[in-house]
A and B are shown apart, each in its own frame.
Chain A
Amino acid sequence: MDFLRPASWEEALAAKAEHPTAVPIAGGTDVMVEINFDHRRPEYLLDLNRIGELREWEVGADTVRLGASVPYTQIMENLRAELPGLALASHTVASPQIRNRGGVGGNLGTASPAGDAHPALLAADCEVEAESVRGSRLIPIDAFYTGVKRNALAPDELIRAVHIKKADGPQQYSKVGTRNAMVIAVCAFGIALHPETRTVRTGIGSAAPTPIRAKAAEEFLNAALDEGGFWDSKKIITPSIAKQFAELASGAANPIDDVRGTASYRRHAVGIMARRTLGWTWESYRGKGRSTEGVA
């Protein structure tokens, strides 16, 4: 195994162009596990740790341009207001040591359905900034996940950053694991209210071959909120609406039985999380929500 250590982003792109099979490594919290378990033996490892700008972020007018290697700890500490859903998701990532190393670029690169950031990214809406020696492009998150542990990156592309919409309303994130910390998701759910566009977006993790949005649930809810005038009245959402939203979210899941949980439990849990997180975000939108201690 060759270890490539580019000193700059340009060198990294050149190296990736020359060795398209090279596996990028930053925090190493996914890649090293795979190597240690002997699940993969890449020909080349492309170490991105010398490239400082990958650990930087810029808060713009509408979006946050989050460098691929910004560790989860930084997101929790510095971007809670702009990216509340991702900050909550970051808090569920493994242990403090791992959160100091791992970043969103790794989650996207691995594209495991169990990656903790995905539901929050899907709900907030974002674009992945991919770059190669051929140039740079923005991939909408909805088009990014293409299969189990596969994504839309070309072999010569690297993830430079993620452009995430700044929150214009409350966001929430829940993850079921069978331990109260440091656990891989059995399934996860993210939700973001977008009052500016009067839409709700969602994300589901670990309950389908790829991270997905619960689109039918979103469409139903968007219509119901619109018809009922809820965005203006800020009334409590009718229980029947919440219930149907939860059922549709649950129906969007397409999970499997595995050692972490059964498919039927995952479907069930996605529904519960959808109902609860909708309740929490809507209460916040109404101005009644209280902060949640211990989560950032």
Chain B
Amino acid sequence: MGSTRTTGVPTKLTQGSQTKGGIGESTLRPDGTLKVTGEFAYSSDMWHEDMLWGQTLRSTVAHAEIVSIDTSEALAQAGVYAVLTYDDLPAAMKNYGLEIQDTPVLAHKKVRHHGEPVALVAADHPETARRAAAKIKIEYRELPLVTDEASATAPDAVLVHEGRDDEHSRHVPHPNIVHRQPIIRGDAAEAAKKADVIVKGEYTFGMQDQAFLGPESGLAVPAEDGGVDLYVATQWLHSDLEQIAPVLGLPEEKVRMTLSGVGGAFGGREDISMQIHACLLALRTGKPVKIVYNRFESFFGHVHRHPAKLYYEHGATKDGKLTHMKCRIVLDGGAYASASPAVVGNASSLSVGPYVVENVDIEAIALYTNNPPCGAMRGFGAVQACFAYEAQMDKLAAKLGMDPVEFRQLNAMEQGTLLPTGQVVDSPAPVAEILRRVKARPLPPERQWESSEGADVRQLPGGLSNTTHGEGVVRGVGYAVGIKNVGFSEGFDDYSTAKVRMEVINGEPVATVHTAMAEVGQGGVTVHAQIARTELGVTQVTIHPADTQVGSAGSSSASRQTYVTGGAVKNSCELVREKVLEIGRRKFGTYHPAWATAELLLEGGKVVTDGGEVLGDLVDVLEGESVEVEAEWRHRPTEPFDLRTGQGNGHVQYSFAAHRAVVEVDTELGLVKVIELACAQDVGKALNPLSVLGQIQGGTTQGLGVAVMEEIIVDPKTAKVKNPSFTDYLIPTILDTPTIPVDVLELADEHAPYGLRGIGEAPTLSSTPAVLAAIRNATGLELNRTPVRPEHLTGT
């Protein structure tokens, strides 16, 4: 991490500097060994005596009126306890949704996408439930399909949602557009006249799936008070709660949620999946109900990354300065809104990338179509834009005869740069520096597959499939850099809550940290304990299971949890520390004047002065006492973007990563082996350097996936998903994953706790365009779409 430590006796101590296992150390995940050995209990492993199994029946067509539903045969099957349809919903509220409540709990009169839930079954065995669901007879009358921008906005287009009255419906140009965000700054048309070169491009981004390994699952247990206890794998307990309670007709306090083992999320658990369905069945039958999707259903059970069409124009002077940028980003939101409005906000406000461009004309829209619903996924709108603007940067550099990295550096934003939204970047923005670092790395040796023994196919495109021993293989190198906002933007009240308790247990001071943060693999459970150790000077920290008995932690997304819930834990720990010191002063203040006069710290289970003098043991201070604080914590507020100009201080913080990709392409077969994906990223402060490395390598690999293989293929004629399985939706194996050397910068953001920067998403942005750039470099092909398939590389 490149930190230096001064030797000798420090003249002044600071809080936490002497405590082991605090921030900055690579403490290990508490669940790491369990997960690796297969002993970790995921949400799908839960069991309850007398429990029933829930099964969802989903639509087999993408857009149709429901003419009739006949459940009689399913109900008659032995072992079936309940069959529910729309008519069985207990409350006036029948819909849910993250931003717009447009998603029916069960389809009403029509279905709008392939795989939409229509009916539910509870039975005493999962196979019985499955068979009963198959006996429900649904008659559909198919409707015309809306599948792209042309069919969505045609004058006679079928409306996916009729009678919209959501906040965006008032300003969108067509009811099949969920949200539109223009950003206008300077005069792009005028500036274009001063450009020596102009580059235009049209880009396509395929539909990526989060492909988390633990499918949607949970257990709903009816309670004696008429409420329900729900154990579920999710990304945001309180957001679920706000959507679940109204459709159950229950007050929120009667729906008690506890996070169960989460097998990955990446945005795919922000939306409701089986939560409401399990609760409905449990409340109807009076029995615990478990629902577990299989992989096939999981592809229909969560939203995906928005596929996008991106139209870009950039201009530059002959000395390499960007003059202007015009772009139009069309995101396919599918049948329901999910997070589409926020994705539009991100795509538009970050569409220019980490560059200084004074004259912009930007428009981003998300469509309603009959394709699968799309919403949150790691990178959230910034990913699609980065793929396009980085391709543009390479084209411009080529046209100007400049080095692609130098061209980027010449236009790189820095601290103080004004974004197209008029917002000042007010923390370090080392864009040129991270590019310099990835470029300065020595390149991996050529022809690494060669040895005296012959060709090692594992090192070659095609890998174990033995397609080349070096024939047709060409190397390419490509660069990319990206910008991602951290935290929720556009005026959202993005707070978190932490309850911290300190007491003596078995003669030792122990801190307990209780938040509703969903641990989805990001490492919050590790970091919270580190923060508590640093702030409270204790070794023993208990992380309380996440549930709704404490205030909201916000979502485990937007690279925000270490910043926001980490910030909340730090804040609550500071409040606890003050209370502990107050108790100390009350109990022992008369014994030593330093209690009143010195700066006091908690270190190694003791109260010490900043000069290092020990005033007492925490065990003595806390004897017969316990201290507990639950407090909300907020980062600086943001503002919405103006609906016409896109101006506004919409973002909190930014995260920057750069990649250099080295690929080898079998140009005859169109197969790709990524040899190395070097990354440099500014993390502000690495609270847990090992976790930081894991996030960067994981994000990099997810970006690689959508560069060369990951895509949900939707048949444009039927709007049906063609590859809902891991047989045909491919994600990278370890043989597809290159060496990922990482260069971590720690340039503090003075506005953030410990100076940290959210890190989880940025590496996903630049990884994809870097791989594409490298493939273009190897093949000389234009490649305006991702993922790249062998057909694109061979012209077949």
Contact = CB atoms under 8 A, between A and B. Distances in A.
B455 A176 contact: no
A186 B296 CA distance: 21
B790 A261 contact: yes
A265 B733 contact: no
Nearest to A267: B796
Interface stretch (A4-12, A151-159, A288-296): A288-296
Interface string A161-176: 0000000000011111
Interface in A236-284: 259-262, 264-265, 267-269, 272-273, 276, 279-280
A92 interface: yes
Contacts of A261: 789-791
B610 to A, nearest CB: 56
Nearest to A272: B668
A183 B467 CA distance: 13
A267 B796 CA distance: 9
12 contacts: A178-B708, A178-B789, A178-B790, A179-B736, A181-B734, A259-B722, A259-B728, A280-B469, A292-B466, A293-B454, A293-B456, A293-B457
A265 B671 CA distance: 12
B467 A276 contact: yes
A36 B295 CA distance: 10
A294 B453 contact: no
Kindly list the 8 A-B residue pairs having the minimum CB-CB distance in the complex, ordered from nearest.
A180-B463, A290-B454, A293-B456, A294-B458, A265-B796, A175-B465, A181-B735, A180-B735
Contacts of B668: 272
Given A184-B727, A264-B796, A292-B454, A175 B671 contact: no
B202 to A, nearest CB: 22
B729 to A, nearest CB: 9
A285 B294 CA distance: 49
Given A180-B464, A290-B455, 8 more contacts: A180-B458, A180-B463, A180-B735, A184-B727, A264-B791, A276-B467, A293-B456, A294-B459
Contacts of B466: 88, 91-92, 172-175, 292, 295
Interface string A72-110: 000000000000000010011000000000000000000
Nearest to A289: B454
B39 to A, nearest CB: 18
Q: Which of B459, B466, B735, B791 has the most CB of A within 10 A?
A: B466
A182 interface: yes
Contacts of B101: none
Q: Interface residue tally of chain B, by bracket?
A: 35 or more
A290 B673 CA distance: 22
Contacts of A260: 728
Nearest to A179: B730
A265 B670 contact: yes
Interface in B422-455: 451, 453-455
Contacts of B794: 265, 268-269
Nearest to A290: B454
Contacts of A290: 453-455
B125 to A, nearest CB: 13
A178 B464 contact: no
Interface in A30-65: 33, 36-38
B623 interface: no
A265 B454 contact: no
Given A178-B730, A179-B730, A180-B733, A294 B456 contact: yes
Contact of A293 (B455, B472, B713): B455
B462 interface: yes
A1 to B, nearest CB: 9
A176 B53 CA distance: 41
A140 interface: no
B735 A176 contact: no
A177 B467 CA distance: 9
Contacts of A179: 463, 709, 730, 732-733, 736
A294 B467 CA distance: 13
Q: Which of A36, A38, A183, A264 has the most CB of B within 10 A?
A: A183
A272 B669 contact: yes
Contacts of A180: 458, 461-465, 671, 673, 733, 735-736
A92 B713 CA distance: 25
Contacts of B727: 33, 184
A182 B709 CA distance: 13
A108 B501 CA distance: 64
Contacts of A276: 467-469, 471
Nearest to B723: A259
A293 B471 contact: no
Contacts of B411: none
B730 A183 contact: yes
A293 B458 CA distance: 8
Contacts of B784: none
